Amino acid sequence: MRSRLSPIFVAAVAGLLLSSVAATELAAQQFRAVGRKSVAGIIVSVKPGEIKIKQKNGDVGTYKIQDKDEQAMSIGGTPVRAPANISVTGTIPIKLAERGMIVHFFGFTDVYGKSAGDIESVEVFSGEASPDLKVEFLERPEGRDPARVEVIGRVINVFGNRLQLQVPKSKWAKKERITFTVSDNCVLKISDDHLNRVMPNDIATHVNVLEFANGEAVISQIDVFLAAERETITTSFHEKLEQEFSLLSDEPGEPRELHSDHFVLFTDVSDRSGQILLAKLETMFELIGGYYSARPNSVIECYVVRDLRKWPAGRLDPRGILKIAEPAGITLTMSSGGFNKATVYACEKHSVVQHEAIHAFCAQTFGSPGPVWYSEGMAEMGQYWIPGELAVHIDPVVIDYLTNAEPKKMAEIVAAGQITGDSWQAYAWRWALCHLLASNPNYSRRFKKLGLNLMAGKPDSFDDAFGRVADQISFEYDLFVQNFDNGYRADLCAWDWKTKCANLSSDGRVKHTVKAKRGWQATKLLVREGVRYEFVTQGKWKVDGSSEVTADGNESGQGKLIGMLFFDDYRQSETFELGQKGSFIGQGDGQFYVRCRDGWTDLSDNDGTIELHIRRAPKDD
């Protein structure tokens, strides 16, 4: 699912969005653009708000970008509206056609729906508007002879060389199905104006970049050609839902009820938007229910309003009306005889509804969503959760704020007396703390227990849960805020507090297996100041899914073995390079940590291990 802005952020940033002049020009005036350039190359990674491109000379550039479905981007930590002009084209093997896609082509069939000839190419419709499905004869058929037809259909499946489509019911499609034979070399023609289908190894044929004085680079225009070799076409959960419900109407309706297994929507949004929202809510329901191992015993009711003028007087709670008008949302809870009923009132933005629905889930299941810091932090987490995704995947504007702002201490984040809806910045800090504690294996089990106790009103507190390891959490929390971005894995970067280190005797040896797919890893070596140590490595590992390299890394230094010292007062030494073989002198007394050099957000695609052997260097005669 593409990243969406948090509900409180939507309201706060609205006044900051630039609209009256071309966004890139306004950004240039406000943030002192110092130059423009054009680049081209292979796409290394695509994340919300960011693309990395490797040029022919091997240089990898990191560029910010605002995609079509994103509200804003961030320059220097400030929200700015600067949508890029995006063109994505390509030809993909027909076997990758996805159920729900709307496709267009010309072929031959008779009046009984029996096709003739092989289809060579199929165009994929893209965009929010759904065309009318049809099988229209372009020439008059004679008897049983096939005639040329224009087809717009919804893909049901591709089996071998048979493409089955859903089309309107007719004499030649009595069951609303029609099948055509495709050639062995048949392709899907893609033409999009967003990044939902772009992935690593696609080609950025032309990119216009605006450079700013603070060192940031923003894409104003990008042309991408999709590589045919790929396992899937669509990477976005939202885009897949758009395809799945593409036949439904986009026209807003009158207030009515829409149902799914665990939700009832009272809404005036379109049928398509309503069904997409229900699918997102059901996905969220399963993820949250799986996390807590508990679920509410009744459906969650949500009033999702597009136009307040359509709703009769008295239908909506006045408190809900005020929030919807902002536009934002609110969850109202009533308790009676041990039964809890939570009702969501929200504007039509899906992210707002998802956020509020998490409050409702927790209130109906446990009695309350907990104190403000926990309830809002977990609601922000929940609206961003994606099935099977462990990495950070949030709005890039929130990331820029957290990484550029003065760090907020944990005691401030969990302080009592906070109110909901205070500021999007406060929501961002709550998200950061909750994400770290829920995702880091050092704290995740106790954090879950703390949350359950807080929501159920049992005696527990943040200090009770983590007071004993407060210094450790503070250390990891600071590292998280310093290094995280979309793609960051808190589980892979968790600090190793359990490995004990010891001084190395003159004839002793230390052996440690270093994983490419981890952050800093503790060895058992206690380095002594002024002592020289020798090391050698064995084996190879992979970074970015490329070919194997030794501990010397590649030409750019990526994949090189590096080290640092961790001191008792929670300080780190400067990082120093190691490589495949060599020596170093201890710059203090501290535990020796090592890792494979790679970006903190790029660890998940690494693979392999290297054996590190360390000894004290023999004294000179």
DSSP per-residue string spanning 420-444? TTS-HHHHHHHHHHHHHHHH-TTTH
Residue 142 has pLDDT above 90, yes or no: no
Of 144-148, 161-165, 231-235, 436-440, the poorest mean pLDDT is in 231-235
pLDDT band per the 50, 70, 90 thresholds, residue 31? low
Q: What angle do helix axes 444-456 and 424-439 make, rounded to 10 degrees?
A: 120
pLDDT band per the 50, 70, 90 thresholds, residue 4? very low
**Other beta carbons less than 10 A from residue 47's beta carbon:** 21
Geometric angle at alpha carbon 387, from 410 and 450, rounded to 5°: 35
**Other beta carbons less than 10 A from residue 130's beta carbon:** 19
Residue carrying the six token digits 């943040």:
462
DSSP helix/strand/coil, 141: coil
| pLDDT score of 47 | 84
Between the CA of residue 82 and those of 11, 22, 182, 400, what are the distances in Å? Answer: 18, 8, 42, 15
**Contact of 426 with 41, CB cutoff 8 Å:** no
Residue 354: closest CA among 287, 401, 296: 287
Helix (H) or strand (E) holding 75: strand 73-75
d(CA 152, CA 134): 5
Residue 423 has pLDDT above 80, yes or no: yes
Domains and CATH numbers, the chain: 7-85+197-235 (2.40.50.140), 91-192 (no CATH), 256-483 (1.10.390), 502-616 (2.60.120.430)
Of 250-254, 574-578, 580-584, the poorest mean pLDDT is in 250-254
| pLDDT score of 22 | 38
Would the CA dihedral through 97, 98, 100, 102 be positive or negative?
Answer: negative
d(CA 181, CA 114): 10
Q: What torsion do the CA atoms of 318, 322, 324, 326 make, to the nearest 10 degrees?
A: 180
| pLDDT score of 387 | 73
d(CA 529, CA 505): 14
Helix (H) or strand (E) holding 321: helix 318-324
What is the DSSP-derived secondary structure letter of residue 184? E
Pairing of strands 217-225, 85-93: parallel
Q: What mean pLDDT do residues 260-289 have?
A: 95
d(CA 86, CA 535): 49
| pLDDT score of 69 | 79
Q: What mean pLDDT do residues 333-356 have?
A: 92
Residue 21 has pLDDT above 80, yes or no: no
d(CA 224, CA 202): 7
Residue 401 has pLDDT above 90, yes or no: no
Between the CA of residue 90 and those of 158, 165, 226, 373, what are the distances in Å? Answer: 19, 22, 5, 46
Residue 19 has pLDDT above 70, yes or no: no
Cis-peptide into 327, omega within 30 deg:
yes
The strand pairing partners of 150, in sequence order, are 106, 136
Pairing of strands 502-503, 521-527: parallel
| pLDDT score of 15 | 33
Of 73-82, 103-112, 358-367, the poorest mean pLDDT is in 73-82
pLDDT band per the 50, 70, 90 thresholds, residue 9? very low
Residue carrying the six token digits 């309350």:
368
pLDDT band per the 50, 70, 90 thresholds, residue 11? very low
524 conformational bin, left if phi > 0, alpha if psi -120 to 50, beta if neither:
alpha
Residue 316 has pLDDT above 50, yes or no: yes
Residue carrying the six token digits 């729906």:
113
Instruction: State the first-to-last Cα distance of the chain, in angstroms, to the nearest integer.
Output: 65
Q: What torsion do the CA atoms of 308, 312, 314, 319 make, to the nearest 10 degrees?
A: 0
Q: Which residues contact 616 (CB under 8 A, 6 or more apart)?
A: 504, 505, 506, 508, 531, 532, 533, 534
The widest CA-to-CA distance across the chain, in whole angstroms, is: 103
pLDDT band per the 50, 70, 90 thresholds, residue 336? confident
d(CA 48, CA 74): 12
Residue-wise pLDDT for 444-500, tens only, equals 999 999 999 999 999 999 999 999 999 999 999 999 998 988 889 999 999 999 999
d(CA 539, CA 349): 51
d(CA 243, CA 241): 5
Residue-wise pLDDT for 35-94, tens only, equals 999 999 999 888 888 899 999 988 889 899 999 878 788 787 777 888 999 999 999 999
pTM for the complete prediction? 0.79
Residue-wise pLDDT for 441-460, tens only, equals 999 999 999 999 999 999 99
Burial 329-352 (b: 16+ CB within 10 A, else e): bbbbbeeeeeebbbbbbbbbbbbb
Helix (H) or strand (E) holding 474: helix 470-483
d(CA 67, CA 192): 12
**Other beta carbons less than 10 A from residue 20's beta carbon:** 6
d(CA 527, CA 535): 13
Residue carrying the six token digits 């104006």:
193
d(CA 301, CA 350): 15
What distance lies between CA 138 and its chain's CA centroid? 45
Would the CA dihedral through 18, 22, 28, 34 be positive or negative?
Answer: positive
**Contact of 573 with 610, CB cutoff 8 Å:** no
d(CA 112, CA 559): 62
**Other beta carbons less than 10 A from residue 456's beta carbon:** 13
Residue 13 has pLDDT above 60, yes or no: no
Q: What mean pLDDT do residues 196-224 have?
A: 93
Residue carrying the six token digits 């109110």:
419
Q: Which residues contact 452 (CB under 8 A, 6 or more apart)?
A: 292, 366, 458
- Mean residue pLDDT of the chain comes to 89
Q: What torsion do the CA atoms of 411, 415, 419, 423 make, to the nearest 10 degrees?
A: -10
**Contact of 203 with 39, CB cutoff 8 Å:** no
Percentage of the chain beyond pLDDT 70 is 94
What distance lies between CA 7 and its chain's CA centroid? 17
